[in-house]
Amino acid sequence: MNDGIITVSLGDRSYDIFFGTGVYPLFQEWVTRFFRSTPVFVVTDRTVHSIYGDDLGKWLSGVPHDVLSLPPGEERKRWDAMQEIYSFLARKGAGRDSLIVALGGGVVGDLAGFAAATFLRGIPYVQIPTTLLAQVDSSVGGKTGFNLAEGKNLVGAFHQPRAVFIDPAFLLTLDERNLRAGMAEVVKCAFAGAPSLLESITACAASWKEMSGDSWISVIRGAVAFKASVVERDEREASVRRILNLGHTIGHALEQASGYRRLLHGEAVAMGLAWEAIFSRRHGATPPGLERRLIDLLLEMGFAIDDPSLPVTAIAAAIGMDKKRMVSDIDMPLLTGSGSCALKRIPVSLLREELPSIREELRVIAEERAWGAGKEKTHPPEKETPGEVPAGPDEAAPTISELERRVVLNPRDVDAMIALAEAYGRAGNPSGAWETIKEVLGQDPSSARAQRVAREIEREVKEALPEIGESTSPLLEEVVILEEGVFELRPADRWSGPDEDSGDAGDPGAGVPDIPPETSSAEAGALIRTVTMASIYWDQGRQEESIRIIDEILRRHPNDSRALAWREARLGKRAVGREKRLVSSLTAFLRKMTKEFGYDVPGHH
């Protein structure tokens, strides 16, 4: 067997994975051998193209090709990017014998792969991954797709590439954070079923950033070989391939709770590995001590094992939204040994219930390690433990862990949520406090106590934002803060119920009366979808969510002047005109067809 090649054996869908520094003469040879007389279509992103655009021209010298360069980032992995790729292929005359080349990280690979799977009902493609995460994970196995606002990778297809070309020289352009994020998937593969790889990365845990080209090839090849062996046994994730989700059940929940902006995928997976290892040990699947070996390895490699700014309530809710969920249970990989794991059906409610105590255990581990690393310290610092809330004069106050457990078990316990927000604030976690109090205000906007706490937290967040690396603007989404210090939902922004009079369309406040007194807090929380909220989402770069909010407002109130003005200002008169022309064309078509069968269609209003 050639040490520079791994073959993924899948019958007529088999393909080779080529490894090497300067592997791209092989790419050139491969293309000219199999696609000499057919056009090649390269999909990349602007960052990658700015670095390797000239090299790409050399690799495809003499081969007819076109290049599409997309804006970079996970936020681009959505439907409008897919439409751009489809239009590119159609304009340039791609056929079923054409070849798509995915040159970039995981986002480019997933988008280009899905385009290849679906354009003209399927055309061939190859992967040239340029990030460590893509090299060890997303470029191998044939998973393709894009995100919806409701979750990651909810639209996709299995479509195996014709070849994969992996060169560690690409890693030289990555910053440390992105390189470390890729190593999380290596750690996952090692613990999931590659004991020799686990030995290798353990040996270089403190110095992995200093690895040379040959060492990188060895590590990448070990991870890819394991994944390829799993894919060969279960191409479409019907059973054993789900062990590759180790760390991803909680990892995906952390990503979703962070809004897919704060954490890189690999960072969330590393945290998920730590959380799930503790859960697995508690339920007897993981031998005692193995979870500490995993956690210590992650910490030694520089990973964080938690993001305290993410409320455990948001993490718990996101677990229930994970696409691997099966009714109320999930098939979750649990560690069973050093380099082995097994699938077990786990109730979602059980996993959610244990999150607060898992977080508390991880906090203690991180503090012990930090204290142990201080050479000049002879005893732990005498200060309030971040996981505790100062006790009152008469009785001990509940700890953060206890409050989190109460809220996870009953997300409508407003008193517990307010107490948790206050506790987060006292523990130096203003972001977690802010997210928690926003949820309270969503359920009970008129709560004077919640308004007071929110104002206090907002001041702390503004002071802390520069320190935690966030935007300098307040984290306002669902809540409007008035100058006089009162939080409220503007009545003009609230939706009326389906049976309420829509009012005069000419009045910006008409047709959207205040929530009636008899409406419950839960119902009021469900109604918080406003023009103001759409504008904030738009400014944050979350355009799809903004448009969906405005579309829903206009569906309920077609003549809402504020929503119409918002839509026209941001999408332009052309978009509105196209919609009207489409409606008119469809109406004319239906009228013509129904008249042929003796029916009539009333005119469009």
Per-residue pLDDT, 490:
41
DSSP state string for 179-206: HHHHHHHHHHHHHHH-HHHHHHHHHTTT
pLDDT at 524 over 80: no
pLDDT at 540: 66
Residue 130 burial class via C-beta count within 10 angstroms: exposed 0-12, middle 13-18, buried 19 and up:
buried
**In this predicted model, what pLDDT tens digit does every residue of 46-99 receive, in sequence order?**
999 999 999 998 899 889 999 999 999 888 899 999 999 999 999 999 999 999
Selected residue with higher pLDDT from 446 and 409: 409
Fold of 175-212+231-376: Dehydroquinate synthase-like, alpha domain (1.20.1090)
Is residue 232 packed enough to be buried (19+ CB in 10 Å), middle (13-18) or exposed (0-12)? middle
Among the CATH numbers 3.40.50.300, 3.40.50.1970, 3.20.20.70, 3.90.79.10, which is that of 5-174?
A: 3.40.50.1970
pLDDT of residue 373: 66
pLDDT, greater one: 2 or 425: 425
Q: What CATH number labels 400-479?
A: 1.25.40.10
**Is pLDDT at 12 greater than 90 in this prediction?**
yes
Residue 375: pLDDT over 90: no
Q: How far apart are CA 360 and CA 312, in angstroms?
A: 11
Long-range contacts of 562-568 (CB under 8 A, 24+ apart): 562/492, 562/508, 562/531, 563/531, 566/531, 566/534, 566/535
Residue 43 β-bridge partners:
68, 102
Whats the size of the chain, residue-wise? Answer: 605
pLDDT band for 448, please (50, 70, 90 cuts).
confident
Q: How confident is the model at residue 580 (pLDDT cuts 50, 70, 90)?
A: low
C-alpha–C-alpha distance, residues 568 and 577, integer Å: 10
In this prediction, residue 486 has a pLDDT band, given cuts at 50, 70 and 90, of: very low
End-to-end CA distance of the chain: 70
Best mean pLDDT range from 353-357, 447-451, 550-554: 353-357
Identify the top-confidence range among 83-87, 150-154, 206-210, 380-384: 83-87
Per-residue pLDDT band at 568 (split at 50, 70, 90): confident
Segment (H or E) for 331 = strand 329-337
pLDDT at 581 over 50: yes
Q: Are 372 and 227 in contact (CB under 8 A)?
A: no
Is the Cβ–Cβ distance between 501 and 508 less than 8 Å?
Answer: no
Residue 188: both structure tokens together = 């996952």
What pLDDT does 469 receive? 41
pLDDT of residue 374: 60
Query: Which comes out higher in pLDDT, residue 225 or 323?
Result: 225
Residue keyed to tokens 């890189």 = 264
Q: pLDDT by residue (tens digit) across 116-174?
A: 999 999 999 999 999 999 999 999 999 999 988 777 788 999 999 999 999 999 999 99
In percent, the amount of the chain with pLDDT more than 90 equals 48
Which residues on neighbouring strands pair with residue 42, listed in sequence order?
A: 67, 101
Lookup: tokens for 561:
């002047």
pLDDT at 488 over 50: no
Using the predicted structure, report yes or no on whether residue 229 has a pLDDT greater than 80: yes
Q: Name the DSSP letter for residue 170.
A: G
CB proximity list for 135: less than 8 A, separation 6 or greater: 129, 166, 168, 170, 182, 220, 224
Q: What is the mean pLDDT of the chain?
A: 81
Could you tell me which of 139, 131, 130, 92 has the C-alpha nearest to residue 111?
Answer: 139
pLDDT confidence band for 530 (50 / 70 / 90): confident
Instruction: Band the pLDDT of 262: cuts 50, 70, 90.
Output: confident
Mean pLDDT to the nearest integer, 468-478: 41
Average pLDDT over residues 389-410: 71
pLDDT at residue 506 in the model = 38
What's the pLDDT band for 320 if we cut at 50, 70, 90? Answer: low
**414, 447 contact by CB (below 8 A):** yes
Per-residue model confidence (pLDDT) at position 258: 85
pLDDT of residue 167: 95
- What pLDDT does residue 507 have? 37
pLDDT tier, 449 (very low <50, low <70, confident <90, very high otherwise) = confident
List the domain boundaries for the chain.
5-174, 175-212+231-376, 400-479, 492-571
Q: What is the pLDDT of residue 412?
A: 80
Confidence (pLDDT) at 362:
94
pLDDT at res. 161:
98
Q: Per-residue pLDDT averaged across 33-53, rounded?
A: 93
